């Protein structure tokens, strides 16, 4: 996550120039700062295969069930919590809780996954703002879901 800090902070700053952006950027900054205080990942126990691009646009659903996952261009080995971002990409809050329990995700991993979701959303917003409005709508929903999960204390 440390490698995501500067690009995420830069993206948050760039988002401040987007007029009318429906996102509380001060809260985004606070949630991101909290994420940077999470304990470091134990590299030995967190190495695993990850998809790296598990976004709604890379999931095919048929008859209400996941039928396929697309785009394995980001496939790698490392911290697989990045793939948990799908929880904020496609699920509402109650469904995220069911998903988390079923996946048996510990608190630190869940918060790291939430930080991944926030970072990816924030970096996408200024980059795609003028060229891919549908993607930005999706990433705004992700960022707002992360903020909602972060609760009022932020």
Express each pLDDT in 65-115 by its tens digit. 999 999 988 888 888 899 999 999 999 999 999 999 999 999 999 999 999
| pLDDT tens-digit readout, 101-116 | 999 999 999 999 999 9
Whole-structure pTM value = 0.90
> Which ranges in 63-132 belong to alpha helices (H)?
86-90, 93-103, 107-128
Name every residue whose Cβ is closer than 8 Å to that of residue 142 and which is 6 or more positions away in sequence.
Answer: 85, 88, 89, 117, 118, 120, 121
Q: Does the 2-150 domain belong in CATH 3.30.1120?
A: no
Q: For the chain, what are the domain ranges?
A: 2-150
Q: Which two tokens stand for residue 64?
A: 């209400």
pLDDT at 44 over 80: no
Alpha carbons 68 and 58: distance in angstroms, whole number: 8
Report the alpha-carbon angle 72-104-63, nearest 5. Answer: 55
pLDDT value at position 143? 98
pLDDT at 154 over 60: no
């Amino acid at each position: 996550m440390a490698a995501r800090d500067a690009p995420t902070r830069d993206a948050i700053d760039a988002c401040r120039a987007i007029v009318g952006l429906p996102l509380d950027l001060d809260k985004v900054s606070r949630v991101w700062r909290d994420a940077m205080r999470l304990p470091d990942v134990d590299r030995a126990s967190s190495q695993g295969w990850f998809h790296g691009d598990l976004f709604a646009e890379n999931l095919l659903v048929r008859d209400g069930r996941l039928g396929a996952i697309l785009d394995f261009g980001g496939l790698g080995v490392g911290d697989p919590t990045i793939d948990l971002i799908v929880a904020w990409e496609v699920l509402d809050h109650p469904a995220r809780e069911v998903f988390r329990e079923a996946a048996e995700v510990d608190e630190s991993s869940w918060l790291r996954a939430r930080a991944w979701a926030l970072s990816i959303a924030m970096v996408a917003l200024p980059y795609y703002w003028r060229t891919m409005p549908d993607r930005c709508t999706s990433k705004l929903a992700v960022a707002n879901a992360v903020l909602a999960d972060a609760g009022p204390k932020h």
